[in-house]
Chain A
Amino acid sequence: MLRIKNLESGYGRLKVLKKVTMHIGAGEIVTIIGANGAGKTSLLKTISGLIRPRSGEILFDMKDIGKLPAEKIVFMGCSLVPEGRQIFAPMTVRENILLGAYPQLRKNNGGAVRDDIERVYGIFPRLKEREKQLAGTLSGGEQQMLAIARALMARPKLIMMDEPSMGLSPLIMKDIFSIITRLREEGNTVLLVEQNAKAALGIADRGYVLETGRIIMQGAAEDLLSNRDVQRAYLGRDLDAEVTM
């Protein structure tokens, strides 16, 4: 579904991503883990078109989207749930959701939008209760739900999520992760970027480890979970030390 080859990108003169190569198949949950500043967010911003790649190619459904602006990429079916939620705070919850449906409305899918709204309200009943509230007044967890709901309204083939668990309590975090699993069961493809490596690898099929802009490791999620280096660096567990004890 998504194929990235030798992607390089950055801000101004600063090069953040160095020769990143990865792929995502339809129906997979793929996660990218890495420390702060490894380039995870930059990678997602580059795929979604908010940052122009410097070189390399991004193929989505066999089409090169590397040079398209963000608003076109959404129309092709590739949505990003941005870091820090980025909802439209001074607008109501319902308006936020409606704006998410903009690509569908443009494709004259107005009838389907009504069903889609019911569908996301089915996934997030809390949002229905707060339909008329200003989005900025929601709690952090609710805002995250709204951001996911808004992205779903575009009926994306690939949904990318940037740190959906950031700043949430463990309980709500669990909710969000179970929703991600549910999205996959409904046939969605998810690219998940997380600092919480353990939770992310727990629900993912495959994972990539990003360090200072390079992919240093990749593999099935279980393999990464049991990998010593990954455990030491990202899961806070040092197997070597445990053995010597």
Chain B
Amino acid sequence: MAIGFNIIYNTTGIINFAQGEFVMLGGMTAVTFHQFLPLPLAILCGVAVTMIVGAVIEILFIRWLHKPSVLRMIIITIGISILIREISLHVWGESVRALPYFTGTSVTSYQLGGVYLSPQVLWVIGVSALAVAALSAFFNLTMLGRQMRACSANRDAARLCGVNAGNMVTLSFMLSAAIGAIGGAVICPITYVHYDGGTPLAIKGFTVAILGGLGNSMAAVGAGMILGILESFSIWVLPAAYKEVISISILLIILFLKPSGIFGSAEAARLKDF
């Protein structure tokens, strides 16, 4: 989730508030495809569909904007997220859906040093670790990844190096849609999906991305764990209904105190625009 934010931010400096909807879409389409396809294929198709949606959104709404301001981008992406949500309401209705557990059932659990873990949790951890590793390799070692980073650092200079900046932005939307969709498919056996399920995830994901330092996938995973632990332990002192409050207050505290994130170096932050 937070990683998806980071991808688009990495290429465009844009914070995409429709990211939560990508997660929801990934889960929803995977569930739909699962009615007539085996699970791995259904997830693959779900991811593919979400990627196409991501590309279409970029081409329709983002590409023709010349030098959009940050505020404008935020408004546009929030608008897109509302649009996706309403369309999904029409397509899938209000029912809550879920994929079956990838391995085992909702009652199987593994014991790990006195802690009971659902197999699906292991899937989530495994997939996010894999995604982070693959992404950091992609951004740091491949020419395409470097081009995407160059676009984010300095768009005009990237064009002067022959990089087609417009295509890079489309690609980044597809990539983050894919990551969101994978995330959506993996977590939906646990959390279920609902047409309205994207927004709280987006807020949480955004908190995590900020907490870890924007643009840094490795830190995002670390921050995600910290946030998860904080939320779980907050149940001791606060009613469970206040869980969401925790993530939002953390977001505010971080934005006030250390906008570069706890893992972000102040130096790298100064070299970026915002």
**Chain A residues proximal to chain B, CB less than 8 Å:** 48-50, 69-71, 74-75, 79-80, 82, 86-91, 95, 98-100, 102-103, 105-106, 134, 136-137, 150-151, 154
List chain B residues, Cβ under 8 A from A71. Answer: 159, 162-165
List chain B residues, Cβ under 8 A from A69. Answer: 159
List chain A residues, Cβ under 8 A from B39. Answer: none
Nearest-Cβ distance from residue B215 to partner chain A, whole angstroms: 8
Cβ contact of B160, chosen from A79, A89, A91, A134, cutoff 8 A: A79
B268 interfacial by beta-carbon distance below 8 Å: yes
Given A89-B154, A134-B268, A137-B267, do A50 and B159 touch, yes or no (CB 8 Å)?
yes
**Chain B residues proximal to chain A, CB less than 8 Å:** 143, 146-147, 149-150, 153-154, 156-165, 267-268, 271-272
- How far is A134 from B268 in the complex, measured between Cα atoms in Å? 9
Nearest-Cβ distance from residue B77 to partner chain A, whole angstroms: 23
- How far is A90 from B153 in the complex, measured between Cα atoms in Å? 7
B268 contacts A74, CB within 8 Å? Answer: no
Given A71-B163, A134-B268, do A99 and B150 touch, yes or no (CB 8 Å)?
yes
- How far is A242 from B165 in the complex, measured between Cα atoms in Å? 54
Nearest-Cβ distance from residue A181 to partner chain B, whole angstroms: 23
A86 contacts B156, CB within 8 Å? Answer: yes
List chain A residues, Cβ under 8 A from B150. Answer: 88, 91, 95, 99
- How far is A102 from B144 in the complex, measured between Cα atoms in Å? 10
Nearest-Cβ distance from residue B3 to partner chain A, whole angstroms: 18
**Shortest Cβ distance from B160 into A: residue:** A80
- How far is A6 from B117 in the complex, measured between Cα atoms in Å? 74
**Shortest Cβ distance from B272 into A: residue:** A90
Given A87-B157, A88-B154, A136-B271, do A154 and B149 touch, yes or no (CB 8 Å)?
no
List chain B residues, Cβ under 8 A from A154. Answer: 161-162
A98 contacts B160, CB within 8 Å? Answer: no
Cβ contact of B271, chosen from A48, A75, A82, A134, cutoff 8 A: A134
**Shortest Cβ distance from B164 into A: residue:** A71
A102 contacts B157, CB within 8 Å? Answer: no
The 10 closest A-B pairs by CB, nearest first: A74-B162, A136-B271, A88-B153, A86-B157, A70-B159, A89-B271, A103-B162, A102-B162, A99-B161, A71-B159
B146 contacts A98, CB within 8 Å? Answer: yes
List chain B residues, Cβ under 8 A from A136. Answer: 271
Between A and B, 14 residue pairs with Cβ closer than 8 Å are A70-B156, A70-B160, A74-B160, A82-B160, A86-B156, A88-B150, A88-B157, A89-B154, A91-B146, A99-B147, A102-B147, A136-B271, A151-B160, A154-B161
B162 contacts A91, CB within 8 Å? Answer: no
Cβ contact of A105, chosen from B143, B157, B160, B271, cutoff 8 A: B143
B268 contacts A87, CB within 8 Å? Answer: no
Told that A98-B143, A99-B163 touch, could you supply 19 new A-B pairs with CB distance under 8 A?
Answer: A48-B160, A50-B156, A70-B156, A71-B162, A71-B164, A74-B161, A75-B162, A79-B160, A88-B157, A89-B153, A91-B149, A99-B146, A99-B150, A99-B158, A102-B143, A102-B162, A103-B162, A137-B267, A151-B160
List chain A residues, Cβ under 8 A from B149. Answer: 88, 90-91, 95
**Shortest Cβ distance from B157 into A: residue:** A86
List chain A residues, Cβ under 8 A from B157. Answer: 82, 86-88
- How far is A126 from B268 in the complex, measured between Cα atoms in Å? 22
- How far is A102 from B151 in the complex, measured between Cα atoms in Å? 13
**Shortest Cβ distance from A147 into B: residue:** B157
